[in-house]
């Protein structure tokens, strides 16, 4: 699907930008601390939130390639029809888990936003920071489902 491919390209770009920002801030903070010229007191918090965002947003990129939830021996031991049934069961489990996390994450993030809680140093809305987790997992589920549907529809016999 062209929409998923286009969105994947955007997310690859976003993850790379987040990584570059994280590395730049950590590098500057380290140089500043080592030389004693300056310090960036919020650098560790920024790096932590960047890392969390990268993990959850990049999980969809891995899921699109089938890099998650793989047990390599299953396709080697069973015929394609059995593997397809296992794929469908796996899709259902991953999607149900993602919906559960979305509901719980939304509850937590909404509560944080309504209470006006902010991150300690950066003073970002904590609800927005927390929302990265359920959004990332739902995106992962969407791309994992699409990957498995492509895999099931493939004509290759193993």
**Model pTM score:** 0.84
pLDDT of residue 13: 97
Q: Is 130 exposed, middle or buried (0-12, 13-18, 19+ CB in 10 A)?
A: buried
Give the number of other CB atoms < 10 A from CB of residue 32: 14
pLDDT of residue 77: 86
Q: Is 108 exposed, middle or buried (0-12, 13-18, 19+ CB in 10 A)?
A: middle
pLDDT of residue 1: 78
Contact criterion met (CB below 8 Å) for 122 and 50:
no
Contact criterion met (CB below 8 Å) for 4 and 146:
yes
pLDDT of residue 72: 72
| Residue 10, C-beta contacts closer than 8 angstroms, at least 6 positions apart | none
Q: From first to last of its 158 residues, what are the pLDDT tens digits of the chain?
A: 799 999 999 999 999 999 999 999 999 999 999 999 999 999 999 999 999 999 999 999 998 887 766 667 777 888 988 888 988 998 899 899 999 999 999 999 999 999 999 999 999 999 999 999 999 999 999 999 999 898 888 865 54
Q: Which residues pair with 125 in a beta bridge?
A: 118
pLDDT of residue 101: 93
The three-point CA angle 83-89-107 to 5° equals 145
pLDDT of residue 68: 67
| Residue 132, C-beta contacts closer than 8 angstroms, at least 6 positions apart | 52, 53, 56, 57
pLDDT of residue 75: 78
Q: Which two tokens stand for residue 155?
A: 């004509």
């Amino acid at each position: 699907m062209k929409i998923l491919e286009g969105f994947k390209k955007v997310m690859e770009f976003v993850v790379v930008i987040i990584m570059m920002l994280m590395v730049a801030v950590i590098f500057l903070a380290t140089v500043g601390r080592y030389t004693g010229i300056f310090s960036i007191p919020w650098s560790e918090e920024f790096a932590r939130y960047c890392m969390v965002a990268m993990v959850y947003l990049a999980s969809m990129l891995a899921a699109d390639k089938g890099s998650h939830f793989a047990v390599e021996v299953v396709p080697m031991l069973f015929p394609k029809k059995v593997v397809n049934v296992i794929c469908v069961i796996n899709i259902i489990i991953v999607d149900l888990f993602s919906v559960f996390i979305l509901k719980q994450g939304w509850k937590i993030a909404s509560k944080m936003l309504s209470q006006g809680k902010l991150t300690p140093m950066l003073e970002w809305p904590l609800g927005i920071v927390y929302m990265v987790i359920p959004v990332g997992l739902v995106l992962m589920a969407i791309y994992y489902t699409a990957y498995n549907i492509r895999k099931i529809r493939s004509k290759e016999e193993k």
